[in-house]
Amino acid sequence: MITSYITHPRCHDHFMGPEHPESPQRLDAIRARLSLSGVLQQTMQSEAKPATAEQIERVHPARHLASLDRCVPEEGLTMLDGDTLMNPASMEAARVAAGAVVRGVDQVYRGQADNVFCAVRPPGHHAEASDAMGFCFLNNIAVGAAHAIAQHGAERVAILDFDVHQCNGTVDIFKDHPNVLVCSSFQYPFYPWRYLRSQWHNIIDTPLPAGTDGPAFRRAVEDDWLPALHAFKPDLVLVSAGFDAHRCDPMADLCLEADDFHWVTQLALDIAALYADNRLVSVLEGGYDMEALGRCAEAHVSALLGLPFED
């Protein structure tokens, strides 16, 4: 198995203030842990390219992109909402983050890699078609899914999201889309407080009460996701990899361990092997305790590489 690791230095330049949990240190923590363990050296490393306007506008209207560009400050910070701020480099970083998923999709369809992990920020799964929120400006996973459909002829794209927060942006963009299945596990009831109850046939929600541990998470995912995935038979698997459901994360109250992320990654790989010729592209979403984030990312990338979990 060839695992591609895609990132870009520009992702460090997006900064929302010294107290903000979505910080450049997140990528440093991931890279340091993967390097120390030797996992990073087993991947094929490459740099992202910015997503083009055409690629972004498949999921966001042009007016949304123009509105965001107008908000970029010449210096300092601009607040879009209580959680989401911009500095002068934010939109460049957002375009690179979305472009990483596009490049990952290209790599798996061209046979350059079996699977991909995009270590990029800002995250994307809260960005709705016309609304930036929840630390997110552009919906990275959605841009990648739309690119796969438009450029590679993907007919059945499965998006698996195991962030502690529900992927309201991804749901907003793809609800009732005939070519996309979205499976999302999340703490309930919890932010973002919208789209928490699915009314669309292609959105599979797995709401989890606060305190849910690994065994309960695994049972719920198997019960909810596997029947839908086997019925759908995706020809591409995309993963929104949020690691903030770890028990040490300060943002929420689920109690997963690093090996649970190895397990759910293996589940996604099994589906990709069955139906998608191994094609799987993952992109970083949440995860805000630096030590836990590094360990969970190591578990995730180890699974992508076909390596066993090591604590």
Q: What is the pLDDT along the chain (311 residues), one digit of tens a residue?
A: 899 999 999 999 999 999 999 999 999 999 999 999 999 999 999 999 999 999 999 999 999 999 999 999 999 999 999 999 999 999 999 999 999 999 999 999 999 999 999 999 999 999 999 999 999 999 999 999 999 999 999 999 999 999 999 999 999 999 999 999 999 999 999 999 999 888 899 999 999 999 999 999 999 999 999 999 999 999 999 999 999 999 999 999 999 999 999 999 999 999 999 999 999 999 999 999 999 999 999 999 999 999 999 98
- Give, in order, the Cα–Cα distances in Å from 139 to each of 98, 133, 275: 7, 10, 25
Q: Is 18 exposed, middle or buried (0-12, 13-18, 19+ CB in 10 A)?
A: exposed
Dist. CA 301–CA 40, nearest whole Å:
8
The catalytically annotated residue of 14, 126, 147, 262 is: 126
pTM over 0.75: yes
Active site annotation includes 126: yes
Residue at token pair 């999340």: 186
Indicate the Cα dihedral angle 268, 190, 131, 281, nearest 10°. -10
Report whether 182 contacts 167 (CB < 8 A). yes
Report whether 5 contacts 40 (CB < 8 A). yes
Dist. CA 203–CA 208, nearest whole Å:
16
Give backbone dihedrals phi and psi of 159, rounded to 5 degrees, phi first.
-110, 120
- Identify residue 138 by its one-letter amino acid code: L
Dist. CA 45–CA 62, nearest whole Å:
32
The arrangement of strands across the sheet holding 44-47 comes to 44-47, 3-7, 115-118, 280-284, 236-241, 157-161, 180-187, 203-208
